[in-house]
Structure 1
Amino acid sequence: MSPPARPSRSVAFQGYRLLLMLAAPVLALRLWREGAQASDRLGLAGPRGARTPTVWLHGASNGELASARPVIERLLARRPDLALVVTCNTLTGRALVAGWDLPRVAVRLAPYDYLWTLRRFAARWQPRALILIESELWPNRLSEMARQGRPVLVAGARLSARSAARWERLPGLARRLTGAISYLSAQDAGSRDRFAALGLPADRIGPVIDLKAFAPAPVPDPDALARLAPLLPRAQTLLAASTHEGEEAPVLAAFAARYRADPGARLILVPRHPRRAPEIAALIARAGLDHATRSKGDPPGPARPVLLADTMGEMALWVALAGTSFVGGSLVPKGGHTPFEPAAGGSAILHGPHVANFADTYAALDRAGAAIPVAGAEDLAAALAALDGAEQTRRAALAQRTIAALRAEAPGPDTLVDALDRLLTASDAKDTCDG
């Protein structure tokens, strides 16, 4: 495996740093609002010089961090000499990792991508390597790790065709980013090939590993489940999970048809971005339906058949309550969200045509008859009419068997820990020679 080069400066990279300078006033205002979280963002939180050799792992938020948990646990078990500092972009992600209560793991909000904040962070934690989850490729972060001669491992890397096309228009910046990557394992074959096309050498590309396939199934809050289960009959409840703009209208049209045929039908509507709740409330009214709002504590019921779930971190609860799940980001070209959560929760799966983020998994589910592809409101309505309780159970069981078979055949998190071991060994040897 060839060592990563220290990428040269490019006009695009300098332009990126100029944009960061222009964004500074906005970020300063955000820091003022965040208050106690400002020290994390400025790289000030943490020890002054880590006593235990530390690896830095970064994931954007809950989904990425949950998928990284098997890697974290295997790394801790295999390397008792190492500690981890985990960073993320959201308070909910920070709370998720803190709730795991794992030994030798600290969690912070990620420092902003300014050189001075990154160097403060590095001075405090002295990370020996950086593990990035999925698509968090921040230019200064990668550049600074490369400058310090520290390996960067990207796990579950994801790069859509649209994002790759944007990077191709900035070849200097793309070379700088790929030049800082020591090892990359993509989430899917398409992402792997797109990183290679951007210039990542073949000897730094590992096998395709979809980390979400190995993540433990999230557990719903038992008290919330007990309160809501009588109000949401599972066989009659549809979950629309992580929906995007352009998806709620056909989902609501399909559900309205189902509700007219079966007044006991219920819908849990979970937008990908909860800030869109007022916009979605208007769409619900336009569909001739009334709704309860989760953030207000409203209970769903016969007069309010739609529960607008405008909160974060409760997807395990919604999956547990729904016999059928439509996976969002798939009726519009967002690449589709994970089928693993509804499968693990025993929910029958519906999805649209845009599933590039999990193309191989959805293809296997469709071949097995474990998931139902739909193209719009009419298909959704037909699927809902056909999915009674017994059919939901049958398809959910098929999905669980299909995913278990995929997991058994695929390389897993241990492959990534092996790669990190090799990178750390090479880095230690270089430090010894330099010393």
Structure 2
Amino acid sequence: MRSNGPTVPLRLYRGLTSAASLLAPAWLAHRVRKGKEDPRRIAERRGIASAERPKGPMVWVHGASVGEILSILPLTERLLERGFRVLVTSGTLTSSRILARRAHPGLIHQFVPLDARRFVARFLDHWQPDLALMAESELWPNLMGELSRRGTPLVLVNGRLSERSGERWAKLPKSARTLLGTVDLCLAQSHEDAERFHALGAPRVAATGNLKFDVPPPEADPEALAEMQAQVGDRPVLLAASTHPGEDESVIETHLRLRDSLPGLLTIIVPRHPERGEAIEALAAQAELDTIRRATGYLPGDATEIYVADTIGELGIFYRLAPVVFVGGSLVRHGGQTPIEAAKLGAVVLHGPHIWNFGALYAQLDADGGALPVSDAESMAEAVYTLFADHDLYQRTAEAAWRTTEALSGAMERTLTAIEPYLAQIRLARR
């Protein structure tokens, strides 16, 4: 589907990003100093490729960061099995490291170019994808407009549009309609997401489900897991997964409230951004709690109360250690991280009130009795204590969470079926 010409807000965006592109080298250099960009690959952010384009049909798959990349990796593997070359782009260092561990001869990773027309054009001139698949809510006007101009099919997979984002786009109805008019097919995570995309003007929308339900639980290095299990023993473990600034204080206070009622409690905090490890350690030290950071290379000792797991790619270890998991991003106004991984591995999920990123999923988990909402340290401590004290309640809640995630699987096959006409067209065109 091709859109009409750009609206005034979109023309303004185009002009501002073109002007800002002149400052891109300085801005990117600043991000390198902050440790947010790879200095060896910084040119990729300006659309300058660091690899040759292989011959043959190519599908470009984009995911913004870790969560999106993990959800689309199984899809890329299915495309590779079908003989397509796959270009995967992302915007974070952590996601690039995850992809590096999943090396495949037919898969190429590049950092996504900044959304300025000249960077985007340079990127597309080199890679010339036959099909573009964008994950979740990646709506970049210049990129989408350039794909439309070149006639490259664009499919939004695992599409997500929160109620809040939908309300914001609704204030610019013509721009939203123009932008979504460049999307040939929108495959939404839920019926609610599909309705929001359709209301904003997406011409072809289908609810295919959430790809994250079909992603296997995160892997855990067997030796590292066994080492941690031996060290922890039978201590009660609370995991705070993917926490954001403003939540660690509540988790630490929760631990303080439970010290006497749950002797030996070990609270593991896994920050969403590992570089916050030192700051979390300092917060725990202020509370006079015995604290160790995993990045220092040490395991928790018998006296350790707070273990800050500030490393990359090890969340699978800690999910397997903890029967109770607080999912971060939900006590602060971030919108919540996904509870799927914890639920699949048999944990009881606790979450705060700010869960709009996965609103339908959390609502289903709550309705099925598979998750417990909390609002602060007091309610979190009460929930944690109750779950450890009442094994039957814990078992029922964990099983309900697992059943909910299993019932919602199947998005992978529905997604592949939906994009098959585009894949078939590529095969025909490349003969």
The whole-number CA distance in structure 1 between the counterparts of 2:233 and 2:363 is 30
Aligned to 1:36: 40
Q: Give 2:26's aligned residue.
A: 26
- Equivalent residue for 1:157, pick from 156, 159, 168: 159
Letter in 1 for 2:385: A
Q: One-letter code of the match for 2:415?
A: L
Specify the alignment match of 2:13 in structure 1. 15
Partner of 1:414: 413
Residue of structure 2 in register with 1:68 after alignment: 72
Shift of 1:21: 2.8
Q: Residue in 1 aligned with 2:3? A: 5
Is 1:113 the counterpart of 2:111? The answer is no
Shift of 1:426: 6.0
**What whole-Å deviation, never above 9, does each CA across 1:376-409 have from its counterpart, x for those lacking one?**
22221112112238444553333222321232xx
Report Cα offsets for 1:131-184 as digits up to 9, x if no partner.
Answer: 011122222111111110111111112222332333334445423321211111
Identity %: 38
Could you say if the C-alpha distance between residues 62 and 28 of structure 1 is closer, same or farther in structure 2, counting changes exceeding 3 Å?
A: closer
Instruction: Name the SS for the 1:260 alignment partner.
Output: coil
Q: Does the residue aligned with 2:320 lie in a helix, a strand or coil?
A: helix
Paired letter, 1:177: L
Deviation at 1:32, TM superposition (A): 6.7
SS of alignment partner, residue 180 of structure 1: coil
CA RMSD of aligned residues (A): 2.7
User: How big is each residue's C-alpha offset from its partner over 1:37-63, in whole Å with a ceiling of 9 and x where there is no partner?
Assistant: 124223332555541110100011221
1:197-228: per-residue Cα shift (whole Å, max 9, x none)? 32222xx1011411111111111122322222
Counterpart selection for 2:182 from 177, 180, 183:
180
Matched AA of 1:357: N
Structure 1 spans left out of the alignment, 5+ residues:
none
Look up the equivalent residue of 1:144 and give its one-letter code.
E
- Report if the CA contact (8 A) 2:14-2:116 is conserved: no
Aligned equivalents of 1:49, 1:403: Cα separation in 2: 38
* 8 A Cα contact 1:248 1:280, kept in partner: yes
Range 188-197 or range 147-156, more displaced: 188-197
The amino acid that maps onto 2:319 is: V
Residues 1:182 and 1:384: Cα distance change in structure 2 (over 3 Å): same
Question: Which residue identity is paired with 2:340?
Answer: F
Q: Does 1:361 align with 2:361?
A: yes
Where structure 2 has 5 or more consecutive residues not aligned to the other structure, the ranges are none
- The whole-number CA distance in structure 2 between the counterparts of 1:177 and 1:312 is 35
Q: Which residue of 1 aligns with 2:291?
A: 291
Render the CA deviation track for 1:91-133: whole Å, top value 9, x for unaligned.
3212322322335221222222222222222222210111011
Q: Secondary structure at the match of 1:130?
A: strand
SS in 2 for 1:270: strand
Q: TM-score, normalised by structure 2?
A: 0.88
Q: How do 1:24-103 residues align onto structure 2 when only pairs under 5 Å count?
A: 24-30=24-30, 34-45=38-49, 50-77=54-81, 79-80=82-83, 82-103=84-105
Partner Cα distance (1:158, 1:8) in 2: 23
Change (3 A) 1:31 1:395: closer
Deviates more, 1:234-243 or 1:125-134: 234-243
Could you say which residue in structure 2 is the equivalent of 1:236? 236
* Counterparts of residues 213-292 of structure 1 (less than 5 Å): 213-233=213-233, 236-292=236-292
Give the drift of 1:31. 7.7
1:315-365 Cα offsets, whole Å, 9 max, x none, are 112212212101112223322211111122222221223323323332332
Q: Could you tell me how far 1:251 is from its partner in structure 2?
A: 2.0
Q: Distance in 1 between matches of 2:333 and 2:172?
A: 23
For the 8 Å contact 2:325–2:350, the answer to whether it is kept is yes
Q: Is the 8 A contact 1:338 1:358 kept in 2?
A: yes
Paired residue for 1:399, among 378, 398, 401? 401
CA–CA distance in structure 2, aligned partners of residues 31 and 244 of structure 1? 20
Give the SS at the match of 2:130: strand
In the superposition, the TM-score normalised over structure 1's length comes to 0.88
Count of aligned residue pairs for this structure pair? 422
1:92 is aligned with what amino acid?
T
